[in-house]
Amino acid sequence: MLSPIDLTAAQERSLLGRTSPLVKLALALAWLVGLAFTLKAGPPVLLTGVAIAAGLVLGRVPPARLVRGLAPLALVAASIALANLLFSASNTNPSSIEFARIGPLRLTREAAEVAAALGARVLAIVSVGAVFAQTTDPTSLVDALVQQGHVSARFAYGALAAYQAVPRLGEDLATLRHARRIRGLGASWHPRLVIGLLIRAIRHADQLALAMDARAFGSGPRTTFRPIAWRWADLLVCLGGLAALGIAMSL
């Protein structure tokens, strides 16, 4: 999950694949802000549908991949909804309308509405995230941030390089736990592991910074190997996304 996703050629050539990651990012943020202003279940359900449909049709994401990516998170959304349905304060409010009863537990319509809205909201957020990840190469995201978003190159490429090191830290953690076990200490969680991991992370960062410096990074004006220009597709996706948000909010 932490290592970069390999996009198929069709995914990269698709409309969403060619759209500037910055536009997708901005749209995702706009949708999140919009969702924060509604307590109804309708808008997030519609946006979830739009995101998934766009991912499949405009992003050419193989359905199996999208399902694999979404399934665990959909489960999270469902459990949030369930928890809110069962333990909502409105279940104990005598004025709310009861629609079912499980033993001593009273389930009310008000609780169900809130639970559905919360679950749908989480689902919408994870769908947008999954579609974004499945149509965006990390390198092109960073390129867009630097070239179109004018984010500092030092920060953006530093972050990209650090991101490459994340899978290595995972391996380091496994080895740290193995080392504890083989020395007779429990392999379970221990604060010392954090220290070990921190030292490793600093080591990786040091080496990386040295390697980047040695290759003249940050020494002056730089050119780019992967120039990005705004396209009509960006405008199209931007307008389409905003329209979907508008329709959803008016539900």
Q: Which residues bind another protein (CB under 8 A)?
A: 3-4, 6, 137-139, 157, 160-161, 164-165, 167-168, 172, 175-176, 178-187, 192, 196, 199-200, 203-204, 207-227
DSSP conformation class of 89: G
- State which amino acid sits at residue 229: A
Q: 127 — alpha (psi -120 to 50), left (phi > 0) or beta?
A: alpha
Q: What's the closest the beta carbon of residue 138 comes to another protein, in angstroms?
A: 6
Q: What's the closest the beta carbon of residue 150 comes to another protein, in angstroms?
A: 16
Between 101 and 183, CB nearer to another protein: 183
Between 44 and 196, CB nearer to another protein: 196
Q: What's the closest the beta carbon of residue 197 comes to another protein, in angstroms?
A: 10
Contacts 24+ apart (CB under 8 A), 195-204: 196/172, 197/169, 197/172, 197/173, 200/169, 200/172, 201/165, 201/169, 204/165, 204/168, 204/169
Between 100 and 210, CB nearer to another protein: 210
Parallel/antiparallel/unpaired status of strands 98-102 and 105-108: antiparallel
* Buried-state track 73-82, b at ≥16 Cβ within 10 A, e below 16: bbeebeebbe
Between 30 and 151, CB nearer to another protein: 151
Between 94 and 186, CB nearer to another protein: 186
Q: What's the closest the beta carbon of residue 40 comes to another protein, in angstroms?
A: 41
CB 57 within 8 A of CB 50: no
Q: What's the closest the beta carbon of residue 71 comes to another protein, in angstroms?
A: 16
Residue 165 Cα to chain centre, angstroms: 19
CB 120 within 8 A of CB 44: yes
Between 79 and 207, CB nearer to another protein: 207
CA 119, CA 140: separation in Å to the nearest integer? 32
Between 40 and 217, CB nearer to another protein: 217
The tokens describing 35, both together, are 């969702």
Q: What's the closest the beta carbon of residue 167 comes to another protein, in angstroms?
A: 7
CA 19, CA 175: separation in Å to the nearest integer? 40
Q: What's the closest the beta carbon of residue 202 comes to another protein, in angstroms?
A: 10
